[in-house]
Structure 1
């Protein structure tokens, strides 16, 4: 790949996706920024980004975006599957409709877009697929069963894909952010099952709401994600995983070193 790469970024309307897209554009790359809300990406367009509407759960949107990039550039060098959100609440209380939507965005959306881009990368026999997982793909937090299930799925999906694509010189990298100061927490609030406050799980639910209001750790500046993405894209041989951000190394290391019982005790202590 040349130094100037054609990059397709999902979830570019906010948070770490938006900031990273800005920095990729400023670095001279050709960046296609996609999300459901085009209005929130006008500033990216003003600095040279190619802005398009795309819902990762919509096959027609995906086909249209990929076709446009190929028509205009003839290739896609980097696909960053970054769109996603967190659904939190007791497993018993959350409707299967909400659960299905969580998987549609966080897992099936990644699969749809990856499948659409792969033929073009295979033809060129080069490319990079960057999948945003989370430290939540290695650990777990109270009330996050469905969210963590999707991130664990992305970890396994990426590992298998990496081996499948080795002969085509297509690299697959997993980005595992820790706590980052983005709109993720607000997204959790927007999708949280507050109706569970008075149900059978009210003890842990109310403790979690309190923890959201006063988080135990301060998140990292999203610039750490932008810097890491640039590092991955510029690397001749990137690592398979990049664990970055506040709390990520501590929590993943804690579980790895001391096992699930100690980790469970820490999580339960946070919910008191």
Structure 2
């Protein structure tokens, strides 16, 4: 077996997930890339990745994926829970079905996949679970109640999980990216337009979409991928790794009062 270890990466069809798969392959890891859009992973397959169709809201696909890795490799060393999306819109406008889906994808699916790999990691007495959170797991922005609620929940979930699995030699790490070059901003803007573009919150929606058309300070997915690699290769990884403009956002949240931070958000979206 490759001494670098066996890694499962979800959300591997684009952005941070795909960049991480490529980097880990270069570093000699055995990498399984999982996503709903298999056709978007053909390029990493040609580079040596094992690809699989997986929907983190589908129990069968997750079980099949984990079982396949254990059957083929005999172990799972790292789980990178990276699949997710941003569902934005005013609380009053977002259908509860969509709110539940945001939690299903960004929290419950991740949690279930974690449950499925833990027995193997406990058996090995080693492993790393790396969760993609966000600066949004500690701060808040406009029209993002359900997204931020899910990411705040993920932070608490990860902290508790870390305490539970440490005695078994398993590390839990949170990655907190800021704005990143990916499909994320486009998807979030589409949700805002669809949900709140023609409601009492339309002015806020327009401001959100305009701001996200040209986001400032975005990081390359490669920057986040290198953070993931750093966490994987560290014998004693940090509990959290912060990247890009997330550092400034988290610092401001720490030093500013709630009311002052509210003003910063309004100013950022040019809302008076």
TM range (shorter): over 0.9
Q: Partner of 2:197: helix, strand, or coil?
A: helix
- Alpha-carbon distance in structure 2 between the residues aligned to 1:11 and 1:18: 8
Offset at 1:193?
4.0
Offset at 1:3?
4.2
| Kept after mapping to 2: 8 A contact 1:178/1:248 | yes
Task: Select between 170-179 and 198-207 the one with higher mean Cα deviation.
Answer: 198-207
Which aligned runs of 4 or more in structure 1 are off by greater than 6 angstroms?
none
- Alpha-carbon distance in structure 1 between the residues aligned to 2:34 and 2:198: 39
- Alpha-carbon distance in structure 2 between the residues aligned to 1:195 and 1:106: 19
Tell me the residue number matched to 1:33: 33
Q: Partner of 1:129: helix, strand, or coil?
A: strand
Tell me the residue number matched to 2:265: 267
Q: Report 1:83-98 matches (<5 A).
A: 83-98=83-98
Tell me the residue number matched to 2:225: 226
| Kept after mapping to 1: 8 A contact 2:127/2:169 | yes
The two structures, once aligned, show a CA RMSD in angstroms of 1.4
Structure 1 unmatched ranges of 5 or more: none
Tell me the residue number matched to 2:43: 43
Structure 2 unmatched ranges of 5 or more: none
Offset at 1:204?
1.4
Q: Report 1:171-186 matches (<5 A).
A: 171-186=171-186
Offset at 1:147?
0.3
Q: So what's the TM-score if we normalise by structure 2?
A: 0.96
Q: Partner of 1:45: helix, strand, or coil?
A: helix
Offset at 1:100?
1.0
**Alignment length (residue pairs):** 270
| Kept after mapping to 2: 8 A contact 1:178/1:244 | yes
Q: So what's the TM-score if we normalise by structure 1?
A: 0.96
Tell me the residue number matched to 2:246: 248
